[in-house]
Amino acid sequence: MNVHDSEQLTELLNGSGYERTDTARQADLIIVNTCSIRDKAEQKVYSQLGRYRHLKKERPGLMLGVCGCVAQQQGERLIEKIPYLDLVFGTHNIHRLPEFIARVEKTGRPVVETGFHETVPSVGILAPPEKGAVSAFVTIMQGCDNYCAFCVVPYVRGREESRRFHDILAEVKALAARGVKEVTLLGQNVNSYGKSLGNGHRFSELLRAIGEIEGIERIRFTTSHPKDLSDDIIACFREVRALCEFIHLPVQSGSDAVLARMSRKYASADYLDSVRKLREACPDIAISSDIIVGFPGETEQDYQKTLDLMEKVRFDTLFSFQYSERAGTAAVGLDGKVHPDEKRRRLIELQALQDQHTREKNDKLVGKTMEVLVEGTSRNTSRDVMGRTRTNKIVNFAGGNDLVGKTVRVRIVGAFLHSLRGEMLD
C-alpha cells in the first residue's frame, strides 16, 4: 500500500516537472512516506528526518515533507517537533501534493493537511508502471472499518470506501494495454470490497471480471480478513484461471481468547476451515499470514495455541511481530501486558518454527517445473534473472535481460529459505 502511494507521488511529481535523484543531497524536494503500524516504523521516520536536518541547514531552499500514516496521526505536532518541515500531509491528501508545493513556494510557510475525503484518493491518478514493468498495483478500496483492537489503520487511513467497479476495470484494461501482465489488487480488507458501494458488486465479481481482461495473466490481492473470506471468493481460486495460487490471510493468533480480545470476529476453527476449503478448491495454493505475539493477556498456553495452529496450517511464509502498543487503539486499556523479553522470546521461537516449515515447503518443490514471470535482473548477479512463481516464490535462474516480462517454464533445482534456484526449460 505504501509502495503504491510512493509510486503515485512519483507520478504526480513527474507531472510537475520533478525528476527522481539518486541521493538526498541532490534533491530539491524530499518527501518521506511514513508507516505507523508499529512503534519501530514510526521511530525510523524521526531518525530519517533527523538525518535531513543538516541538508536543510546547508540549503534552506530544499523542501522537506512528510506524508502517510505518521503525518496523518501527528499533523501539527510534527511541525512542533521538527520545525524545519515544510509539508505534512495525510493519507487522503497525497493527490494534492503539487498544490501544497505551490502554497509553500508562495507563502514560505509550512502546509499541514490531514483532512479525510470520502472518495478514494487514487481515483484519477493512474500510476503508470515504469517502462517495461510487468507488474502493477491497483487500489480497489481505501480505509478499514474493522477496528481490530491492536491496529491504528482505521484511525490513519479512515473509513472503508470501495472504488467504483468500472473505474477499476478501466484502470486494469489501461495497464494491460501498456504491457502489464500481473496486477495486485490493494486494500486493507479487499474481500469486503463492494460493501460500501451498495450496488451489489462483490469482490468475487471483480476477480471474475478482471480475469476476463485480455493480457492479464496473473491476479493477486492483499490483504484479506479471514472473517470476510466467503465461499464465492474461494470458488474463484478454482474457476478464475488468472487468479494466482496464493493468498495472504493474516490469522494474528491461534488462541480464541486472544482473537476475541483482538476483536477479530473469528475463532481458530473458522480459520482452519477456510484453509481447508482453500486447499480443496486449489490444492497447490500457497498461504502466508501475519501473527502478533505478546498481545495483552496472551498467556504461555495462548502462545502454544498459535504454534499449534502453525503446525496444522503449515504456512508457506509468515510475517510475525511483537505486539506494539499504538495510541488511540482499544488495546491500550487492556490488562496483562507481556514483558518485552517474553515477547522477544516468543517471537524468536515462533520464527524458528516457521523457518523450518518454509524450508520444508521449498524443499518439496525441487524437481518440479513451475511457471515463472520474469521481473528483472537477479540481485545476486547480472547473469541471472529473477521472477516469481504463481505461488509467489522467488526463483533465480540463468538468463538475460531479454527475458524480463516473459512467462517461462523453469525446473526447480535448489531451495533456500527465501528463494529457489531454477533452470529455464523453454
Residues forming contacts to ligand SF4 in the complex (CB under 6 A) are 144, 146-148, 151, 153-154, 188-189, 225
Give the three-state DSSP class for 267: coil
Span 212-251, contacts to ligand 5AD by CB under 6 A: 250
Q: Which does 221 bind (CB under 5 to 8 A by kind): ligand 5AD, ligand SF4, none?
A: none
> Taking the complex as a whole, how short is the minimal distance between the CB of residue 335 and ligand SF4, in angstroms?
21
Strand partners, 34: 68
Please identify the residue of the shown chain whose CB is closest to the bound ligand 5AD.
290
Q: Which does 56 bind (CB under 5 to 8 A by kind): ligand SF4, ligand 5AD, none?
A: none
Only one residue has cell 490513519, namely: 156
- How far, in Å, CA of 241 to CA of 219, rounded? 9
- How far, in Å, CA of 387 to CA of 379, rounded? 11
> Taking the complex as a whole, how short is the minimal distance between the CB of residue 264 and ligand SF4, in angstroms?
8
342 binds ligand 5AD, rule: CB under 6 A: no
Helices within 163-293 (DSSP H only): 165-177, 203-211, 231-239, 256-261, 268-281
Peptide bond into 223 cis (omega under 30): yes
> Taking the complex as a whole, how short is the minimal distance between the CB of residue 199 and ligand SF4, in angstroms?
23
The single residue among 13, 29, 35, 37 that binds ligand 5AD, judged by CB under 6 A, is 37
The single residue among 122, 252, 274, 396 that binds ligand 5AD, judged by CB under 6 A, is 252
Binding map of ligand 5AD across residues 113-152, x = CB under 6 A, - = no contact: -------------------------------------xx-
Span 281-340, contacts to ligand 5AD by CB under 6 A: 290, 292, 321, 323-324, 326
Rounded to the nearest 5 degrees, what angle is found at the Cα of 356, between the Cα atoms of 355 and 359?
Answer: 80
- How far, in Å, CA of 10 to CA of 188, rounded? 22
- How far, in Å, CA of 5 to CA of 95, rounded? 9
The DSSP 8-state label assigned to residue 214 in this structure reads T
Which residues does 333 contact at the CB level (< 8 Å), separation at least 6?
A: none
What residues make contact with ligand 5AD under the rule CB under 6 A?
A: 37-38, 150-151, 250, 252, 290, 292, 321, 323-324, 326
